[in-house]
Chains A and B, each alone.
Chain A
Amino acid sequence: MNLDQLTEGASARIVSIDDGVADLAAKLREIGFCEGDDVQLLTRGPLAGQPLAIRLNRRIIAMRREEARAIQVDQSL
Chain B
Amino acid sequence: MNRVRLALVGAPNSGKSTLFNGLTGGRAKTANYAGVTVERRHGVFTTPAGHAVDLLDLPGIYGFTTRSLDERVSVDTILGRNPDEPAPDGLLVLIDAGDIRTQLHFILQVRALGRPMVVALNMIDLAERDGVRIDVPALERRLGVPVVPTRATRASGRAALLERLDAAIASEGWTATEGKAPDSADLKALQREARHVAREVILEEPAINRATRAIDRVVLNKFAGPLILAAILFLMFQAVFSWATAPMDAIDTGVAAISDWISATMPDIWLRSLITDGIIAGVGSVIIFLPQILILFSLILILEASGYMARAAFMMDEIMLRVGLNGRAFIPLLSSFACAIPGIMAARTIENERDRLTTIMVAPLMTCSARLPVYTLIISAFIPPTSVGPFGLQGLVMFGLYLAGIVSAVVVAFILKRTVTKGPPQALLMELPTYKMPDLKDFVINLYSRGWAFLRRAGTVIFTVSVVLWFLASYPASDNGIRGSFAGMIGSVLEPILKPIGFNLEIAIALVPGMAAREVAVGALGTVYALQGNDEAGLATLLQTAWSLPTALAFLAWYVYAPQCLASLAVARREMNSWGWTALLIVYLFAMAYVAAGATYWTATWLGL
Contact = CB atoms under 8 A, between A and B. Distances in A.
Interface in B217-241: 217, 220-223, 225-226
Given A26-B65, A36-B195, A57-B99, A63 B429 contact: yes
A59 B317 contact: no
B431 A60 contact: yes
Nearest to B213: A42
Contacts of B103: 32
B428 interface: yes
A50 interface: yes
B227 to A, nearest CB: 10
Contacts of B480: none
B277 to A, nearest CB: 54
Nearest to B226: A46
A45 B429 contact: no
Contacts of A61: 429-432
Given A26-B187, A47-B319, A53 B314 contact: yes
A53 B317 contact: no
Contacts, number: 134
Interface in B63-104: 63-65, 67, 96, 98-99, 101-103
Contact of A67 (B67, B310, B314, B428): B428
Contact of B65 (A23, A53, A58): A23
B184 interface: yes
Contact of A60 (B319, B321, B327, B432): B432
B220 A43 contact: yes
Contacts of A36: 195
A53 B430 CA distance: 9
Nearest to B209: A58
B351 to A, nearest CB: 9
Contacts of A31: 62, 429, 431
Interface string B198-215: 000000010111001100
The binding surface of chain B is classed by DSSP as: helix
Interface string A43-74: 11111101101011111111110110000000
B188 interface: yes
Given A26-B65, A51-B317, A61-B432, A46 B427 contact: no
A53 B432 contact: yes
Contacts of A26: 63, 65, 184, 187
A54 to B, nearest CB: 9
B135 interface: no
B262 interface: no
Interface residues of B, number: 53
Contacts of B46: none
B427 A64 contact: yes
A34 interface: yes
A24 interface: yes
Contacts of A43: 216-217, 220-222
Contacts of B132: 58
Contacts of A18: none
B315 interface: yes
B309 to A, nearest CB: 12
A22 interface: yes
A33 to B, nearest CB: 8
Nearest to B206: A58
Given A59-B102, A59-B431, A30 B63 contact: yes
B65 A63 contact: no
B318 interface: yes
Given A29-B188, A30-B65, A34-B191, A46 B315 contact: yes
A10 B191 CA distance: 25
A28 interface: yes
Interface in B106-139: 106, 130, 132
A62 B63 contact: no
A51 B318 contact: yes
B318 A50 contact: yes
A30 B431 contact: no
A45 B431 contact: no
B318 A55 contact: no
Given A26-B187, A30-B65, A58 B431 contact: no
Nearest to B13: A59
Given A53-B216, A57-B102, A62 B432 contact: yes
The interface centre, meaning the residue of A25, A31, A63 with most chain B CB atoms within 10 A of its CB, is: A31
Nearest to A46: B222
A61 to B, nearest CB: 6
A53 B99 CA distance: 17
Given A62-B310, A63-B427, A66-B427, A51 B327 contact: yes
| Best-buried of A47, A55, A63 by chain B (most CB within 10 Å) | A47
A22 B207 CA distance: 31
Contacts of A32: 62, 102-103, 105
B188 A67 contact: no
Contacts of A58: 98-99, 101-102, 130, 132, 205, 207-209
B102 A27 contact: no
B314 A45 contact: yes
Contacts of B430: 61-63
List the 4 closest pairs (A to B, CB-CB), nearest first.
Answer: A30-B63, A32-B102, A58-B99, A47-B318
6 contacts: A31-B431, A45-B315, A58-B130, A59-B99, A62-B432, A67-B428
Given A31-B431, A50-B318, 8 more contacts: A24-B427, A26-B187, A30-B63, A42-B220, A59-B98, A59-B208, A59-B433, A62-B429
Interface of A: 22-32, 34, 36-37, 42-48, 50-51, 53, 55-64, 66-67
